[in-house]
Amino acid sequence: MPTEIEGNVCRWTTEADALREFAEFSGKTQSASHIKPLHWYVACRLVIEGGFDPVDITPRPPFRVERKSGRVPILHYDPSVAGGGERTVLGGLKTKNVDVVVTREGIGPVLAVSCKGVTGAFRNLTNRMEETIGECTNLHITYPALVLGYLVLLRANRQTERALDIAAEAVDDVSNETAPAKALAANDIAIAIGGEPVAGIVRFHNALRELVGRRGIRDDVSRYEAIGFGLVEMEGPTKNKLFEPFPPETSPLATTSFFETLYLRYDERFVTSAPDLSRVTRRLEWDISSPALIQVNNQMYGARTAG
């Protein structure tokens, strides 16, 4: 795995890296440091697996494309070209800074992913739905062809006797500097003692399920093309991995189908339905001998190769 580079710029990040950073982050979430690695993971995956040119992506992933006449493009890992930040997109109601955006010259934003990480206060999740719906509607008003994804992670805090003891100790001794900075409250529990998600998590999942599945540009602008929903384990042998039982594989919010759905909707709108533009919009296939692919060794996700 390539070494990280300094500064708040996009780094070559795996899903495991992003989940670990989210689960183990202990600072203030206002800094967005707990969710930035997820932005970088999405951006890197859109290059290696998705076949999007890194120069078209914000934040700019640490890759460089080498093009030679008559040859399939070669992908190099190059941290010196990496960039950070978000892209400001013109919405129908207001401009919006979007976490990860693919922009095509002469066309505008064609694919975007908004990322969210929630560490607690799960009973209030449904109260945030207005913001979630508003962002989607705002962007689709101006860009109805935009393929928009929403990727949300929650901490799979489990209701255990030890967790309850820690919470009680923190309440009894709030002046003790060795007490946990943020003890688990009942409102922060995601997984009940029996191993099933609590009611608030299920309600949030069901609410998001009503906002996904937009297929055509004339469909409801308040729906996302794809939504990925994941609970990240916080303890035990599966720590820092996704909680497998929920959502089930049959759910439209299962993370396993998130990227595949984004690529499918993109190809339908910008390649298949617009053959005159396909030379510009078609996703790239990488030379299988690309140095970046040799480094990744297919351990992150499947690479889009031509041979």
Q: How do the pLDDT tens digits run along the chain, 307 residues long? A: 443 444 689 999 999 999 999 999 987 776 788 999 999 999 999 999 999 999 999 999 999 999 988 899 999 999 999 999 999 999 999 999 999 999 999 999 999 999 999 988 887 787 788 899 999 999 999 999 999 999 999 999 998 744 455 545 544 554 444 444 445 677 899 999 999 999 999 999 999 999 999 999 999 999 999 999 999 999 999 999 999 999 999 999 999 999 999 999 999 999 999 999 999 999 999 999 999 998 876 455 678 887 6
Counted domains in the chain? 1
In a domain, 249, yes or no: no
Q: Considering the domain boundaries, does residue 60 fall inside one?
A: yes
**Residue 138 vs residues 59, 110, 127, 293: alpha-carbon distances, Å:** 21, 15, 18, 37
Instruction: For residue 93, tell me if it sits in a domain.
Output: no
Output the pTM of the full model: 0.89
Query: Are residues 81 and 65 in contact, defined by beta-carbon separation less than 8 angstroms?
Result: no
221 in any annotated domain: no
Q: What residues make up the domain containing 77?
A: 1-85+275-307
Q: Which amino acid is at 224?
A: Y
Q: Would residue 91 count as lying in a domain?
A: no
Residue 256 lies in a domain: no
Give a yes or no: residue 197 inside a domain.
no
Q: Is residue 210 part of a domain?
A: no
Asked if residue 86 lies in contact with residue 115, where contact means CB atoms within 8 angstroms, the answer is no
